[in-house]
Structure 1
Amino acid sequence: MGLRIVNSAMAIGLVAIAAVPAQASVKAGIDAWQRGDSARAIAIWRGLAEKGDSDAAFNLGQAYRLGRGVAADSGQAKKWFERAARAGHLDAQVSLGLLLFDSGSRREGLDWLERAAERGEPRALLVVGTALFNGDDLPPDPVKGYAYVSRAAAQGLPPAKETLAEMDRVMPLSQRQKGVAMAQQAARPGKPATKTPSKAAATPKASVSAPVAAAKTTAVAAARGVWRIQLGAFSSKANAQSLYARLQGKLGGAQAFYVPVGEMTRLQAGPFESRAFASAACARLKPQPCFALEAR
């Protein structure tokens, strides 16, 4: 029996909105969205998306997917996701792929997810890797599937860790060893990054509530450890630096990490000594989208 493909957008952390301030007006839309003024955000993003701004198009697609500020409309969500995805927007490629996959257009969805997986995106690696393992809609290749899921798990994606554990129980050791070697090859310089999580951060409503004991995170606690928080994915490093400068005072001394993934730059901060400390840092940044990840 094949492994279950985790194809639910919610199950693998599809975000509600991208904190991707490609320019001041896109950020103005994000600010309006976070204030609850969805109509204003939609108006800003629509104008920019119609002029070819991929970040705005992605955010507009998310609004239609969620039915926030506009009536929920999967057709419109697909339209705007596809427009951004064709411009190379990594998160749009994932969102479009998952939307198509979940709606029954599995082969078309996998085409987009394969593109994102080649760029090291963990959610895409998980779905494509599981499909390769099962031979569902893709030629069966359990070794490559194991490599893909391993890379997703290495980036801290919980469903990928669960799927990898299932693979470990049913795959021969020799195949797993080949998969590990393939994953390590992909992690070498010049290859897609394998230890950074997805793009975009989690929706503010989905922020993890850290234990009270972890709420007193300090610069000392942030000075060691393998945990980071991810604050967004950006079409330019300058925008990532701008967001870090704005949030730095709330980060308790955590330093910035600018992780290149294709043409995107992911902003991470840390290190933190545990998931609890990292989650506590995220909680203090609300409503800024944020999630914790292990960066071993």
Structure 2
Amino acid sequence: MKRRSYRLAIAAVIFALPPSLAHAQSADLVLCDRIAADTSDPDKPADVKGVAEIAPADIPTAIKFCKQASGASRRAMYQLGRAYAADRQTPQAIAAWRKAADKGSTSAMVELGVLFGTGAGVAKDEAQARKLFERAAEAGNPRGVTNLAALGGNAAPSDPSRARELLAKAAETNAEAQYQLGLMLADGTGGAKDEAGARALFEKAAAQNHPGALLQMGAFAEAGRGGPKDSAAARAYYQRAADLGDDDAKKALRRMECPLAIKDKRGNLVTNLCF
């Protein structure tokens, strides 16, 4: 009876630990995600917005909290690499991405592949870059797919048809893959041109607030590509993309508001006429 009471007492002590101790790791990860999550990372939770680039003012905070969270999270380890890279600490970024890649982070594989492919911070090695892109692509990472398809040279010929196949698999759930596959369908890269199919993919990605897809939906709706022409819808898509900071969308809105362009005799834009 005493032994049982002793065990219950231990359990009571464990459950009575302050929340700050019990959830310190998850709190670190939340803060790491908030300022350093990559918008295109397949590991990113759906409720995390992510950032295209870590703001300079957030870099020290990102390094601190991502480092604290990295022991239990490959996503945090990858994001720690992003923070080091943003701070131009390339050796530290590479070390973090290696660890994240070893844990299965496909985004870390892509970043390492880019470094090997360009020779930035490491000896240039296209064969190693290809291996990393292939691992990421086979796991469904859209950037891995597109980088693999784009990697030139005799050791790694471009294969857009294979890129289509891999993107099609990833596009079942991933907005970036939907966007990238949509671009290939729209241009007829790697297979038949299919503007209706491209528009459907852009629409799916736009529903997830993908800036590029919002811009494409605006262009397709404005021109009537792959579906009905709808100026109001085009303007709405452009506005959503502009609100996310897309400069091309801002230009498109300006063009729609001021459709007539006044140019000089050399063809240079002087001004637009607005109505």
TM class, shorter-length: 0.3 to 0.5
- State TM-score, norm by structure 2: 0.48
Compare relative contact order (CA 8 Å, sep 6+) and give the higher one, 1 or 2.
1
- State TM-score, norm by structure 1: 0.45
Higher strand share: 1
Rg: which structure is higher?
2
